[in-house]
Amino acid sequence: MKVKNICCIGAGYVGGPTMAVIAAKCPDIDVHVVDLNEQRIAAWNDVNLDNLPIYEPGLSDIVAQARGRNLIFSTNVDQAIQEADMIFISVNTPTKTYGIGKGMAADLKYIELCARQIARVATSNKIIVEKSTLPVRTAEALKSILSSSGNGVKFQVLSNPEFLAEGTAIQDLLQPDRVLIGGERTLEGEEAIQALHDVYNNWITTERILLTNVWSSELSKLTANAFLAQRVSSINSLSALCEATEADVDEVARAIGQDSRIGPKFLKSSVGFGGSCFQKDILNLVYLCQTYGLNEVADYWHQVIKMNDYQKRRFAQKIISTLYNTVNGKKIVLLGWAFKKDTNDTRESAAIYVADYLLSEQAEIVVYDPKVTQEQVYADLDYLNTRSEERNRSLVTVAKNYEDLFKDAHAVAVMTEWDEFKTIDWSKVYIDMLKPAFIFDGRAILDMQALEGIGFTGFAIGKG
């Protein structure tokens, strides 16, 4: 079967870029991306490509290439479902905030709503592709809902998890390490797998397209994120030991990373990992293990999150103890609020939690991030519900630029590894600050020796 018409439900960080790349690489396939969020769809359709709803290097070029030719963004979900022979489900799967599994399990209500809508609207056979990150065996529930419509329409459910990282999404989609497709190993299942394989094969070689069964594919996505986050927590756990023993965590990472069995990537110690998925997906994995009675396995993976929480707390405590055990009324400048550089995404960013600890000690925080808005900073703090919205606004200021940023500050802390922080004129900053002037580098990106030469009292994560 040759796919002619694709529908993607969910025009977010994954659905938008993924479909834009498919449309650009497969000009003979019509790609229809739909979402309930009218504002988001309007932004995808904006003539000014600077107004696309998400920022990713290279995205606007890809959208410009395909939009209006074979790439359509709309809110007409029913029509897109009816016309498609393949439907990607790319909706959000956040951690549940209520009921059984609260705070741990993935909330699958959006996925289920999609399945019910497809079952209600479809009048011809379709291949359903799980693009969202889902607990293992979700395809079973999807199949059960889809097959209950009773109108004779047949569905094949495939798992095709996405491995892109924010900030490098387009590069990751154009040249992925691998594409993973899981399907039923029946005749119809194999046909569906082949159809999706052929879509990707327009630009990705067969060797990089891995075929497997549905359950292995679903579980591989959670596993990949768990392994990546585990590496960060592993190196972060050792950053604490390095600080206690005068070892240097970057030197340790370099030494172990040269071992080809370990490899050099994802070994940069930090103030803690953030982003919308690592924590959510590991909690989901932990919950799954608990559900199957595998408590030791659950505890093992839960430790990755606990270590991350410890790292954020440890950094905040380091600031407090260094500032003579009180930050009450002291001005502390946080450089960076996004969860990593080159994105304006702040979901689960370590900066939010470090700020929250310091605010509970009644510090006065000034935040500067080149891409994050003031409204976003306040929204992130209000979401934690630690103190009133008024109190957050009275204790936190968001600076738009460097003007007077460091004036009379007691301390500066680097939270995000933005390149521009490396080229700040630190001698000038030193003059502006109160003395002793403290600097805390949560990403270990600054030249601490040079800073101490200027007169700063410095601390960098993982440096003894």
**Selected binder of ligand NAI within 56, 166, 369, 380 (CB under 6 A):** 166
9 binds ligand NAI (CB under 6 A): yes
Please identify, using beta-carbon distances, which residue of 164 and 219 lies nearer to ligand UGA: 164
CB 52 within 8 A of CB 41: no
What amino acid occupies position 124? S
31 binds ligand UGA (CB under 6 A): no
**Selected binder of ligand NAI within 37, 82, 168, 457 (CB under 6 A):** 37
Sheet strands side by side (includes 411-414):
396-399, 364-368, 331-335, 411-414, 438-441, 457-460
Size of the site for ligand NAI (CB under 6 A): 27
**Selected binder of ligand NAI within 7, 101, 129, 132 (CB under 6 A):** 132
Rounded to a whole number of angstroms, the distance between the first and last alpha carbons of the chain is 61
> Where does this chain touch ligand NAI (CB under 6 A) — which range of 58-66, 106-114, 300-308, 378-386?
106-114
Single out the residue of 165, 288, 290, 289 nearest to residue 224, CA to CA: 165
Residues found in the chain: 464
Is residue 451 marked as binding? Answer: no
> Where does this chain touch ligand UGA (CB under 6 A) — which range of 84-92, 264-272, 329-337, 428-436?
264-272
Give the contact letters, 401-430, x = binds to ligand UGA (CB under 6 A), - = no.
------------------------------
**Selected binder of ligand NAI within 3, 8, 13, 158 (CB under 6 A):** 13
**Selected binder of ligand UGA within 1, 64, 165, 384 (CB under 6 A):** 165
225 binds ligand UGA (CB under 6 A): yes
270 binds ligand UGA (CB under 6 A): yes
Q: Name beta bridge partners: 6.
A: 31, 86
Is residue 324 marked as binding? Answer: no
Residue written as tokens 């439907």? 87
CB 18 within 8 A of CB 162: yes
Q: Which residues bind ligand NAI (CB under 6 A)?
A: 9-15, 34-37, 40, 77, 90-93, 110, 113-114, 132-133, 162, 164, 166, 276-277
Which residue ranges make up the annotated binding site for NAD(+)?
10-15, 35, 40, 91-95, 132-133, 166, 277-280, 347
Which residue ranges make up the annotated binding site for substrate?
162-166, 221-225, 261, 268-274, 339-340, 443
Which residue ranges make up the annotated binding site?
10-15, 35, 40, 91-95, 132-133, 162-166, 221-225, 261, 268-274, 277-280, 339-340, 347, 443
